[in-house]
Amino acid sequence: MNHIPLNKTNLKVYPLCLGGNVFGWSSDEAESFAVLNAYTEYNGNFIDTADVYSEWKDGNTGHDSERILGKWMKERGNRAEIVLATKVAKLSTRPGLSGANINAAVDDSLRALQTEYIDIYYAHEDDQKVPLRETLSAFNELIKSGKVRYIAASNYTGERLAEAIEISKSEGFVQYIALQNWYNLLHRKEYEEDLTPVLEAEGISGIPFFGLARGFLSGKYRPGATVESVRSGGVTEYQNDQGYRLVDQLEKIAKAHGTSISSVALGWLAAQPGVATPIASARTVEQLKEIVNFTTLTNDEINELSDLTK
């Protein structure tokens, strides 16, 4: 797959962004390195993490994924080849989007990642306790300093994203170039009705997470099947007649293309208006192979899948 340009940047990225949320959680360092090595062998260069990954695991303190990525890039000597995204706001010891917190958090992430700059720095959630102007001003200074190249938003509503863009325009600040929100075949309404119009109007890249519905759209969850996974509890809302009908249709299309169910689900997502590249994670190299070259679908196939989850 060829690299694609991200709007409003000079970045060119692999069409699948590799999620780093599993590094230091369900994947240990050796497993994470194996996945990262395999991803780059496919010419992959776009990796997403966050300071909070994976604080939730017993014994972790946050920055766990960042530290694994930093060590891997240091050993490989490939930092300049990687488009690296991380986030601020959700780590318990660095919560929120105040200017002071952003300034402290970015330095923590730079140390963990063993790098002097971050390509895309996300506001990991909308901190409505802090004025947008304060947050955007702090991000603007980070870009001036060279610590960050571009900024982006995650878990924003369309209204708040549009408001942030207008403030940046009026104040002469840098603008959010991407949005990372929840979007997949089984979770559509909010994204398509509230966010897609803003993305298209402003030329902002959609980089959605949970593209495989926490693994449900990989096809491994079937009626009566037991799946051993740390994320299995998050798919119960999809385990119903609609979800299983969708998986059956994904499987039918996957067989026609000679590919995986995951690849078809991501192919549908990548074809949606405003979406630049979906995010998906892999705990093992075998899982990576199922997602790294997602399928280009026909219009009929896209419509068939869309009709199942309107």
Q: Which residues are the active-site residues?
A: 53
Peptide bond connecting 232 to the previous residue in cis, omega within 30 degrees of 0: no
Cα–Cα distance measured from residue 282 to residue 279, given in angstroms and rounded to the nearest whole number: 10
Cα–Cα distance measured from residue 286 to residue 283, given in angstroms and rounded to the nearest whole number: 8
Contact partners, residue 301, CB within 8 Å, separation at least 6 = 253, 264, 268
Cα–Cα distance measured from residue 65 to residue 35, given in angstroms and rounded to the nearest whole number: 13
For strand 12-13 and strand 17-19, is the pairing parallel, antiparallel, or unpaired? unpaired
3-state secondary structure 106-154: HHHHHHHHCCCCEEEEEECCCCCCCCHHHHHHHHHHHHHHCCEEEEEEE
Check if the beta carbon of residue 183 is closer than 8 Å to that of residue 156. Answer: no
List 152's β-bridge partners, or say none.
122
> For tokens 């709007």, what's the residue?
7
Q: Residue 291 corresponds to which amino acid?
A: I
CA 270, 11, 41, 52 dihedral sign is negative
Contact partners, residue 276, CB within 8 Å, separation at least 6 = 4, 6, 7, 13, 178, 205, 206, 207
Q: Residue 239 corresponds to which amino acid?
A: Q
Cα–Cα distance measured from residue 194 to residue 308, given in angstroms and rounded to the nearest whole number: 21
